[in-house]
Chains A and B, each alone.
Chain A
Amino acid sequence: MIRRTRAPLALVAGLGLMLAAACGGGDSGFSNSTGGNASGGGATTGVKLTMLIGSSGDAETKAVDDATAAWAKKGGNTVTVTPAKDLTQELTQALAGGTPPDLFYVDASKFAGLVKANALAAYGDQMPNKDDFYPNLLQSFTSDGKVYCVPKDFSTLALEINTDMWKKAGLTEADYPQTWDQLDAVAKKLTTGGVTGLVFNDTLDRVDAFMRQAGGSLLNADGTAFTADSPQNLTGLQFVQKMAREGTLKFPKQVDTGWGGEAMGKNKAAMAIEGNWFVGGVKNDYPNLHYAVVPLPRGSQQATLSFTNCWGIAAKSKNQAAAIDLVKYLTSTDQQIQFAKAFGVMPSVKSASTQFSQQFPDQKAFVDGAAYATGPTSLPGFDQVQKDFDAKILGLSNGSSDPKAMLAALQKNGDAALKANN
């Protein structure tokens, strides 16, 4: 008889498990949170915060650990910092499961998707130093006129030059290229034997800079229509094509490297286009490389691209007040200078720029870029559109890709992605 009573019990237990599995996110399964403005709810002392970061390495993890520990000690809180192996994937899983971390890095290109999913609390207006952030960085994290989160740091693209090769080619500082024609000319001069004049990655995240220098853009100002198939963009892309066909521009794969810094470090390139991660990247691997950093040459106008992350606060977080307080601490001028020293990022606030330029005079071109930089295209579903474009860039050098057709496809696929979001 005992057996007979236990069996149904076990069955019920099994069913319970299944039900738990089917509900997935458990507590939050059926609630539909409304994002929007941060309530600022919750206490600011004795709080346990969780933070998910996409760390570039041990130096960054340690710096964030130290900074959050200092803040936590001050208010009697605790902060658990988790470095993600793949931030996009881990954050997605946490959000889908309904238990996101209180704070996390948000890449500018993923921002629009998170806003659309009501995953972010809009706390920008509660930052006392809101006006101190670079306006075009804040723009990357603004939707419908609301600033959702504030940039934690940023980087811009600039031109890095191997000064030893420069001198060897009989060039002086006065010859640093300021226009496309000058860039073309010096790249020709520097291309010899195993050395290529200019090397940068075959991605829209580099080529787009040339299109913007020609006066073009991918999206219109309010992000409602694609403008990829424009004569300006064609001019920019054709300039890239011209250099690639002449062999004065090569992509890292063609010189057997992973990125511009490696190509320069291995003496396979005289110039590269990278962000300020270049500085830290070559410092460890190629300490003997002598280089200068200058602004990207102008086409019809001065332009560069910026890459930035913000401190996102989860709309579902119960500790928003404490989280906002932590962000205030982390984005303060002093703390940002600390981060800059620790892992080579650039502070996102204007008040730190003088101090940064003094401490790191060789990185002035990167900071100056903030004035005329534009952020990446932030649109859910744009990832595959960009990858489709990126895959064709290599073909510019052997003529298998046609700039006009590339832009037409970008326009068509971009339009489709935009439409799918409305």
Chain B
Amino acid sequence: MTSSVGSTTGTVGTGELAGTLEATAAPPPRRRRGRGSALRRQERWAGWLFVLPGLAVLIIFLVVPIGLAFYVSLTRWDGLSSPFGGGARFIGFDNYKSLLTVDNLTRQNFATSIRNNFYFVLFVVPLQSALALFLAVLLNNKFLRGRSYFRTAFFFPSVTSSIATTLVFLFLFSGGGAVNQLLGYVGLHGPNWTADSRGVFHQALGAVGVDSPPGWAQHEFFNLSWWDWLSGPSVAMIVIITLVVWTTSGTFMLMFLAGLQNINEEVLEASEVDGAGPWQRFRLVTLPMLRPTLILVLTLGLISTWQVFDQIYLTGNNPATITPAYLSYNQSFQNSAFGIGAAIAFLLFALIIVLAALQRRLIGTGEDD
């Protein structure tokens, strides 16, 4: 979608970027009341001049591509000719309709991807935030030896290429991989992790004797039966959840650490004098004071988990792990349906906005209201 733009504007490079930095570093125009208006106008021009490089970069690499992608989402375009010639047929909101209202394979795949990603977010966001907070609290202990070593060690997965870490995980979790061999030592027979599309909730239900869907769960909603909606993450998705929790908790740990170091030592000491135990101190003093950081971490986590792509791309086209971001790519480049692909991207965008707003409603903005 944005490729055609990139190719023609590839020359806009570091120079423009440096311009942006200059522009942001430039002091705001001073207000001098009582002077002639000609000078003020001149200053306004100067202001725009300074902002222009940054603005141009934003417009060329953000606004125009988004506009183009939206245009593509309103067309049927196979990507094999220019979207402005006869190659793309304008079809209004048909792509959105096809994804939301038409009973077909595309909607089934879309529903599946939403389900997969929902469980992914449901597991990853709380787990990675909790782990990050736990690690940050550990590292914030002044009496811990080798703090910088641990900080580096925990942060390392975050700066390693996601492609590399995913490949390593795929090897670890292959049918005869290290994880299954370890399980073998304790007499357990591990599943063929990354190829296993069974939902873990289904398996848990199966363990207590519920193997087939009850009557009410056989009804379909968006081409998936309620039973399928309630499948839980697939076994393959559990692997990716583990991977992502491991890689991203390091980044969020740093944010929590910064937040913790901002907490005034005296407040903690005062609470100690007041007779608060360590747990009370954490729950009643540290945690409330970390609220802005917590909200930042949860929001960033929510947004990035709904956009998960690399790990899914490497795991391969498995209905048990496809996510909207991957489906968007797949529909565009593999299925030659760029319109549908772009429409998925915009629906995902809308979904993220709605969920972020909902989260803001539920836990506030982090500022004192």
Show the binding face of A for B, using Cβ within 8 Å. Answer: 3-4, 6-7, 10-11, 14, 17-18, 20-26, 28-33, 86, 88-89, 92-93, 95-98, 113-114, 116-119, 253-256, 380-381, 383-385, 387-388, 391, 394, 412-413, 416
Distance between Cα atoms of A380 and B84 in the complex (Å): 20
Q: How far is the CA of A92 from the CA of B333 in the complex (A)?
A: 8
Quick check: B59 and A18 within 8 Å, CB to CB?
Answer: yes
B175 and A253 contacting across the interface, CB-CB below 8 Å: yes
Q: Are A28 and B330 closer than 8 Å at their CB atoms?
A: no
Contact yes or no, B49 A10, CB < 8 A:
yes
Residues of A within 8 A of B4 (CB): 24-25, 93, 96-97
Are the C-beta atoms of A96 and B330 separated by less than 8 Å?
A: no
Give every chain A residue within 8 A of B197 (Cβ-Cβ): 391
Structural contact, A88 and B334, CB atoms closer than 8 A: yes
Contacts A31-B85, A384-B105, A387-B317 given; does A113 touch B336 at CB 8 Å: yes
7 CB < 8 A contacts A-B: A20-B9, A24-B84, A28-B82, A29-B84, A93-B7, A380-B78, A384-B105
Q: In this assembly, does B83 line the interface, its C-beta being within 8 Å of a C-beta of chain A?
A: yes
Cross-chain contact B333 with A88 (CB below 8 angstroms)? yes
A24 proximity list for chain B (CB < 8 A): 4-5, 8, 68, 82-84
Question: Which residues in A have their C-beta under 8 angstroms from that of B42?
Answer: 3-4
Whether B336 lies near A380 (C-beta < 8 A) is yes
B87, CB-defined interface residue at 8 Å: yes
Contact flags B311-336 to A (C-beta < 8 A → 1, else 0): 00000011100000000001101111
B56 touches A21 (CB 8 A): no
Task: Report yes or no: A383 in contact with B68, Cβ–Cβ below 8 A.
Answer: no
B25 at the interface (CB under 8 A from A): no
Task: List residues of chain B with CB within 8 A of the CB of A7.
Answer: 45-46, 48-49
With A23-B8, A26-B8, A387-B317 known to touch, is A113 a contact of B78 (CB < 8 Å)? yes
Q: Kindly list chain A residues whose C-beta atoms are within 8 Å of the C-beta of B86.
A: 32
Least CB separation from A254: chain B residue? B192
Q: How far is the CB of A15 from chain B (nearest CB, A)?
A: 9
B12 at the interface (CB under 8 A from A): yes
User: How far, in whole Å, are A253 and B170 apart by their CA atoms in the complex?
Assistant: 13
Q: Is A96 within 8 A of B83, CB to CB?
A: yes
Chain A residues near B337 (CB, 8 Å)?
381
- Which chain A residues lie closer than 8 Å to B192 at the CB level? 253-254, 256
CB pair B334–A394 under 8 Å, yes or no, is no
> Per a CB cutoff under 8 Å, which of A14, A96, A380 touches B81?
A96
Q: Which chain A positions have C-beta within 8 A of B333?
A: 86, 88-89, 92
- Interface centre among B318, B330, B336, by most chain A C-beta atoms within 10 angstroms, is B336
Do A384 and B52 have beta carbons less than 8 Å apart? no
Nearest neighbor of B59 in chain A, beta-carbon distance: A18
Is B79 touching A92 in the complex (CB atoms < 8 A)? Answer: yes
Q: A93-B3, A391-B319 are in contact. List 13 more A-B contacts (CB 8 A).
A: A7-B46, A10-B52, A21-B8, A21-B9, A25-B85, A30-B84, A32-B86, A96-B3, A96-B81, A97-B4, A113-B80, A119-B80, A254-B175
B81 adjacent to A118 (CB under 8 Å): yes
Q: Which of B7, B78, B174, B330 contacts A117 (CB 8 A)?
A: B78
Chain B residue numbers with a CB within 8 Å of A30 are 82, 84-85
Residues of A within 8 A of B319 (CB): 387-388, 391
Task: Tell me if B64 is interfacial: C-beta within 8 Å of chain A.
Answer: yes
Inside 8 A of A23's CB, which chain B residues have their CB?
A: 8, 84
Does B104 interact with chain A (Cβ within 8 Å)? yes
Q: Are A384 and B80 in contact (CB under 8 A)?
A: no
CB distance from B66 to the nearest CB of A (A): 12
Q: Are A18 and B84 in contact (CB-based, < 8 A)?
A: no
Which residues in B have their C-beta under 8 angstroms from that of A33? 81
User: What is B's interface to A at a CB cutoff of 8 Å?
Assistant: 3-5, 7-9, 12, 42, 45-46, 48-49, 52, 55-56, 59-60, 64, 68, 78-87, 104-106, 108-109, 174-176, 192, 195, 197, 317-319, 330-331, 333-337
Q: Chain B contacts of A394 at CB under 8 A?
A: 195
Complex alpha-carbon distance, A4 and B105, angstroms: 59
Complex Cα distance, B369 from A292, in Å, reads 77
Collect the chain B residues with CB atoms within 8 Å of residue A32's CB: 85-87
- A384 with B84, Cβ < 8 A, contacts A14-B52, A17-B60, A18-B60 known: no
Q: Which residue of A lies closest to B79 (CB)?
A: A92
Closest chain A residue, CB of each to CB of B41: A4
B284 to chain A, nearest CB (A): 51
Are A95 and B81 interface neighbours, CB within 8 A?
yes
Residue pair B79, A95 in contact (C-beta under 8 Å): yes
Kindly list the 10 A-B residue pairs having the minimum CB-CB distance in the complex, ordered from nearest.
Answer: A117-B80, A24-B4, A256-B175, A32-B86, A25-B82, A253-B195, A413-B105, A14-B56, A383-B335, A92-B79
Residues of A close to B330: CB separation below 8 A: 384
Q: Tell me which of B52, B60, B68, B85 contacts A29 (CB under 8 A).
A: B85
A380-B339 Cα distance, complex, nearest whole Å:
13
Known contacts A92-B333, A95-B79, A113-B80: does B195 contact A388 (CB below 8 Å)?
A: no
Question: CA–CA, A11 to B49, complex, Å?
Answer: 8
Once bound together, how far apart are the Cα atoms of A254 and B106, in whole Å? 28
Once bound together, how far apart are the Cα atoms of A358 and B226, in whole Å?
60
- The distance from the CB of B183 to the nearest CB of chain A, in whole angstroms, is 15
When A10-B49, A92-B80, A388-B109 are in contact, do A416 and B104 touch as well, CB less than 8 Å? yes
Interface centre among B7, B9, B109 (most CB of A within 10 A): B7
B68 touches A22 (CB 8 A): yes
Q: In the assembled complex, which residues on chain B have CB atoms less than 8 Å from the CB atom of A119?
A: 80-81
Give CA–CA (A17, B15) in the complex, Å. 14
On chain B, the residues within 8 Å of A116 by CB distance are 78, 80
Report the nearest B residue to A34, measured CB to CB. B86
Residue ID in chain A nearest B109 by CB atoms = A384
Smallest Cβ-Cβ distance to B55: which chain A residue:
A14
A114 proximity list for chain B (CB < 8 A):
80
Q: How far is the CB of A2 from chain B (nearest CB, A)?
A: 11
A7 to B55, CA, bound (A): 14
Contacts of A92 in B (CB 8 A): 79-80, 333, 336
CA distance A22 to B82 in the complex (A): 12
Which residues from chain B contact A86 at a C-beta distance below 8 Å?
333
Tell me the nearest residue of chain A to B60, going by C-beta. A21
| Chain B residue contacts of A113, Cβ below 8 A | 78, 80, 336
Set A25, A31, A256, A412: member contacting B174, Cβ < 8 A: A256
CB distance A384 to B106 under 8 Å? yes
User: B105: which A residues are within 8 A, CB to CB?
Assistant: 384-385, 388, 412-413, 416
Tell whether, in the assembled complex, residue B79 and residue A96 are in contact, meaning their CB atoms are under 8 Å apart: yes
| Closest beta carbon of chain B to A307's beta carbon, Å | 17
Residues in chain A near residue B12, CB distance under 8 A: 17
Residue picked from B42, B64, B87, B106, most chain A C-beta under 10 Å = B87
